[in-house]
Amino acid sequence: MENRTRPEITENRVEQIRSVIRENPEWNRSQISRHICRMWLWQDPNGRLKDISCRDMLRQLDKIGKIKLPAPLKATRSSRGADVIRHIEHDTTPIITALPELRPLCIENLSSGKDLTTFKSYIDQYHYLGFNRTIGENMKYMVYSRDGQPLSCLLFGSAAWSCRERDKFIGWNKEERARGLSYLTSNARFLIFPWVRVPHLASHILSLIAHRVADDWQVKYGHPVYCLETFVERDRFRGSSYRAANWVCVGSTTGRGRDGGHKHAIFPIKDIYLYPLVKNFKEALTKERFYEVRSTN
């Protein structure tokens, strides 16, 4: 049995996970996730366990208090090349001013070195979701004032494999979605530092990023992206900055997690926002050949 998307996460399955953890107190997170994959037949078409997706799901359940995972084994994570986040002290002097006093902003595209370590530290310390290792194509940005004061950071990564309202809005069928998904990227993290209080800063940053992300993607990965997506937790945020930057709300999630499910909502409901980067983005995302794409900028 092949399962390309996340299994339905019901309360019954959550209880199965709790039982696995309770009955195997000596197991680490990797052992738990591999066992869950085998138990649920969660694997790719080649029969490989979807271990990374399963661990992401387990961390989400742990974060919202549905389960209690054992502490991560830092040595094991490090030996596999995964991220062990080192928290760095930052200058938290309040920045309370008007946007024109900070402009023009400087946006840096990060790839390695000290700046990337600082980026991860900011996200892990101050974003409510923390920093998870990035898998696949991604883009990391740091935003500075004209005087070099760090203000914000953003992370773009892989789009959600399946999202009913988004897919309906684009007009995808399954085959078109599989072909076009790499031309869509998700704004997985957007952080304005908590000591920065500047009206209209967030929407301004989003607008600046939208004018450059496709070119950055082309340079780094050899292909563009045609649309941005993000998921805004409804009970936590209003999505005002995205709306002010002309992102379009196309619906909401069902609470079944990033990669799908079926009936029982246990994750927070999120509003789905899209930002087209080209005028004919629906055609670009659904056609097997991508051509005559006109920019919206």
Distances (CA, A) of 162 to 4, 8, 173, 178: 10, 13, 11, 10
- What is the reported pLDDT for 79? 38
Torsion sign, CA atoms 54, 57, 62, 63: positive
User: 102-134, pLDDT tens digit by residue?
Assistant: 999 999 999 777 888 899 999 999 998 888 777
CA 258-59-11 angle, 5° bins: 70
User: Quick one: tokens of 121?
Assistant: 């530290």
CB 295 within 8 A of CB 188: no
According to DSSP, the β-strands at 139-144 and 184-192 are unpaired
Q: pLDDT band for position 257 (50/70/90)? A: low
Give all strands (DSSP E) within 180-243, no chain letters: 184-192, 196-197, 227-233
pLDDT for 10-47, tens place per residue?
888 888 899 899 888 889 999 999 999 988 888 877 77
Tokens of 166: 């988004």
Give the chain's mean pLDDT.
Answer: 85
Start-end of CATH 3.40.630.30 domains in the chain: 95-286
Residue 77 phi/psi, 5° resolution? Answer: -60, -40
Instruction: Return the sign of the alpha-carbon dihedral for residues 201, 277, 253, 63.
Output: negative
Q: What is the pLDDT of residues 194-230, one digit of tens each?
A: 999 999 999 999 999 999 999 999 998 888 999 999 9
CA dist., res. 172 & res. 287, Å (int): 10
Calculate what percentage of the chain has a pLDDT beyond 90: 49
pTM recorded for the entire structure: 0.70
- Give the H or E element holding residue 252: strand 248-252
Q: Which residue has better confidence, 100 or 71? A: 100
Confidence check: pLDDT of 167 > 80 = yes
Q: Which fold has domain 95-286?
A: Aminopeptidase (3.40.630)
